[in-house]
Amino acid sequence: LPAAVLLKDTKLMDVKLGQLPSWLAMRDFTPGGIVGAIQRGYNRYYNKYINVKKGGLGGISMVLAGYVVLSYVWSYSHI
- End-to-end CA gap in the chain: 46
Please tell me the total count of domains within the chain.
1
In a domain, 1, yes or no: no
Global pTM reads 0.54
pLDDT at 64 over 90: yes
In a domain, 2, yes or no: no
Question: By residue range, what is the domain housing residue 65?
Answer: 7-76
pLDDT digits (tens, 9 = 90+) for 33-58: 899 989 999 999 888 888 877 767 87
In a domain, 26, yes or no: yes
Query: In a 10 Å sphere around its CB, with 0-12 CB exposed, 13-18 middle and 19+ buried, how is residue 76 labelled?
Result: exposed
